Amino acid sequence: MKKAHVSHGTGEFAPADLKGVGEGVIFEKGVLVFHPEMIELGTNIYVGHGAILKGYYQNTITIGDNTWIGQNCFFHGAGGISIGRNVGIGPAVQIITSYHREQGIEIPILFSELAFAKVTIADDADIGVGAIILPGVSIGKGVQIGAGAVVTRSVPDFAVAYGNPARVKKTRK
């Protein structure tokens, strides 16, 4: 028997569909939201054109007050995403919270078990254009992540990290 294929939906939503949404939240044209019931937004948040907030049936995406999300960002919240207050997230940033486990060459990677790991971004952080944040990473308070960085491990408070893979280059004072 063939397995039925199911669409993830259109991503169209109304703010009232969200788990929670504060005042002063702006969604630009073309923003897509999946599983809005798993997404909670504070106040004064900007979500740029073409951004995708992809909630999942488990875990939540939580975004704190006064956060700015640039155009064409992609947040995949299967493992959970927690973003603090006063965070700047540049255009085309990707936050990924799941991956396929290695189960040997007999199982195609696509069909291997999914693993989930939460991403946390603390207050006052700034994520540069096109950065990629991988599952399980915590970004500390006041951290600056450079444009195009691939963040594969956690970054301590007030650090400046960039590169591929991202490395801490200095501490902000």
> Residues 6 or more apart from 156 whose CB is under 8 A from it?
140, 143, 168
Active-site choice (8, 35, 76, 100): 100
Between CA 74 and CA 44 the distance in angstroms is: 20
In the residue annotation, 49 being an active-site residue is answered as no
**Coil, strand or helix: which one is 161?**
strand
Sheet of strand 144-145: strand arrangement: 26-27, 46-47, 68-69, 88-89, 126-127, 144-145, 159-162, 167-171
CA of 80: how far to CAs of 30, 70, 83, 121, in Å? Answer: 23, 20, 10, 11
- Measured CA to CA, the distance from residue 7 to residue 50 in angstroms comes to 19
Which residues participate in catalysis according to the annotation?
100
